[in-house]
Amino acid sequence: MPNVLKLRQPPKTLIKANFVTYSANNIMIFATNTDRILFKMYYFLKEDMSVMCDKPKYLDESLSFEERAKDLVSRMTLEEKVTQMLFNAPAIKRLGIPAYNWWNEALHGVARAGVSTMFPQAIGLAATFDEELIYKAADVISTEGRAKYHEFQRKNDRDIYKGLTFWSPNINIFRDPRWGRGHETYGEDPYLTGRLGVAFVKGIQGNDKKYLKAAACAKHYAVHSGPESDRHSFNAEVSEKDLRETYLPAFKELVREANVEGVMGAYNRTNGEPCCGSETLLKKILREEWGFKGYVTSDCWAIRDFHEFHGVTSTAPESVALAVNNTCDLNCGNMFANLLIAHNEGLVTEEAIDQAVTRLMITRMKLGMFDKPENVPYTSIPYSVNDCREHREFALEVSKQTMVLLKNENNILPLDKNKIKSIAVIGPNADNRTALMGNYHGTASRYITVLEGIQDMVGEDVRVFYSEGCHLYKDKVEDLAEPKDRFAEAISAAEMADAVVMCLGLDETIEGEEGVAAQDFSSGDKHNLDLPGLQQELLETVYRTGKPVILVVLAGSALALTWADEHIPAIIMGWYPGAEGGKAIASLIFGEYSPSGKLPVTFYRTVEELPDFKDYSMKNRTYRYMENEALYPFGYGLSYTRFEYGCIKVKKDTIQTGENFNCLVKVKNAGNIESIETVQLYLKDVEASVTLPRWQLAGIKRVNLVPGEEKEVSFTITPRQMALINNEGRCILEPGVFEVYIGGSQPDSRSEALTGMKVQKAAFKVIGELSEIEY
């Protein structure tokens, strides 16, 4: 009988020979004699501990994830390490590492993996201005993600979109309304994007002190917002001031405050460096300045762009080396297979590869993939919670809170269904399920379009006339027909109705991502801000029937609704409202709740007033820097009730540099309908030494008020919010005068004209020495 050796770590010759297997239930021993070394493997269940030996560190749950991950990586061959850096990482059976596909999506519900609860698209979620609501939605998403993951594991289904690493949220700044992917974001404002992004990440990742519920991923880092058609070769040139003031703050908040587990690099170059291999963005800012410890993934097939389109490298090995040497750990694509060549050519060290794989293994360990299921708190979530009634009802409530009432002339809304006998529902988005979804969506178990929502709402006593009216963007519905082949039907429907609901806009087939959306529309971007196809002509034609028209816009971005604003009495921005969004819209039209959504983007009058799409300067962009008057401003949205604000109360009107500024205001529901008000605080630096935004959002509070009820709302402004970013990108707190505006909108003249209300204003002074503070 040979001698028994107890080894903490087997010799590397064993590893390379593939003779060793570790798993949760099996442990190995090594046998030798005096003449030669013989390697034999004896497997036995833990319950039969007739032979005692040490288990490997990476299976020791008492150790830190970092120590365990380093031990696991040390047992891999170079070839095995490289395979783990691909998004579809294969199993390493001898080490008990199962296959894992990193690519999963959860932008507004668990996506692309069958049935799940579908929330409104991200831009609609942003219209709620509600951090707590976003947190709860993300918590539901991660609950369903866990339930689906463990059910798939039980069926040995390890396919794409079946994992726990969700490549969401998208926190790019929606700087230009032509960008097709803007509806994936939380809008144009850095503060709002940061607050909602932090809430989403915390909801996805859970609150356990040891394990992640799921792993969120902040994307696309950084300075990324079109054009889609050029994204593989485009160089976004941006000043240090704009970079630090607009494009990076949300990413920093997600890293520093929310501890986001992953970051995805963008396709484009920023100031000449490809984002997925940028020393400036990845090493200097993300890793060194912000202290990010999680994993970085490339966008899908972005590494290939380095040599094929950006021209910053000449070969695939050079491209992968550039990425890994700048701490990109994971490749969505297949380029990292060239790392073995890059290593042989001396372009990348095994140490750099080790660091990348270690970070990836730490993430998987945080998700509990190497631990006993009973020790991971989220493994017990049952599959039955996925798409359960409670979740669907909550998604409907979220959808209601995304609705933005843009116009309500003479209080035409809400309609009284007891006073109408017929209603026409007209337009290409009236019965369009796709217009409910937005991109990166899952599959709902039930959809309710606007037409179906209105039919259900009014019941059998009210006649509902329906016409598609026109194609979404073509000049006819039927290929063999003449142009405008549904116009006559639409006119007849309108003539026979007491009121008309026009459902126009876009959907993800023409507004979205390059390679996914229709090529007819600039690879997903918009040529202009007009309603596409014959929609504008259809709207004007139906309007001429003389029947009262309610316009419902389903889209993920701002459109130039200038004509509609002048002629149509009621306009609702419904976004992509989720699976049962039609029910939420019908409920709003018939007054079951009061709208409370606010615009997270500016609605411009024309595309001509915008800077060049490829110009990433913030000059004349978004509400913070725009020069013309908006059609509908950022932060704007009407209610069915009326709110009154008291004067701003200031505790101290003079503070020292480094102190917080505190203020409060009373808000009263002066109408006769219960409603939520979104109280917004805007801050203006009156005496800044550099060009700054006119004012910028610095606080949001949501309050629900019944008729006659009054509540006091308090805000705190921090020194960082008072500080400016100078032209060198430094964060400077300058003494001087600041103005604070609080109300239900921005303090601009257009918002005041639309709402009929002036926001409250106060001022305070900061004294002391100029100081540089942490960015």
Catalytic residue IDs = 299, 511
From the CB of residue 724, how many other CB atoms can be counted at a distance below 10 Å?
18
Q: What CA–CA distance (Å, rounded) separates 177 from 185?
A: 12
Question: Do 406 and 638 contact (CB within 8 A), yes or no?
Answer: yes
Q: What CA–CA distance (Å, rounded) separates 558 from 560?
A: 7
Q: What CA–CA distance (Å, rounded) separates 360 from 453?
A: 46
Strands 100-101 and 88-89: antiparallel
Peptide bond into 707 cis (omega under 30): no
- Side-chain half-sphere exposure of 576, counting CA atoms within 13 A: 31
Helix (H, G, I), strand (E, B) or coil at 288: helix
Closest C-alpha to 505, from 551, 452, 455: 551
Strands 422-426 and 463-467: parallel
**Which two three-digit tokens encode residue 722?**
């008072």
Give the DSSP letter string of 224-237.
----GGGTTT-EE-
Q: Which helix (H) or strand (E) holds 763?
A: strand 760-767
Question: Do 176 and 185 contact (CB within 8 A), yes or no?
Answer: no
Helix (H, G, I), strand (E, B) or coil at 768: coil
Give the DSSP letter string of 412-426.
-PSP-TTS-SEEEEE
Q: What CA–CA distance (Å, rounded) separates 328 from 303?
A: 10
Q: What CA–CA distance (Å, rounded) separates 685 from 734?
A: 9
Q: What CA–CA distance (Å, rounded) separates 415 from 410?
A: 12
Q: What CA–CA distance (Å, rounded) separates 296 from 261?
A: 9
Cβ partners under 8 Å of residue 244, min gap 6 = 725, 729, 731, 775
Q: What CA–CA distance (Å, rounded) separates 708 from 44?
A: 73
First-last CA distance in the chain: 67
Question: Do 160 and 99 contact (CB within 8 A), yes or no?
Answer: no
Strand partners, 358: none
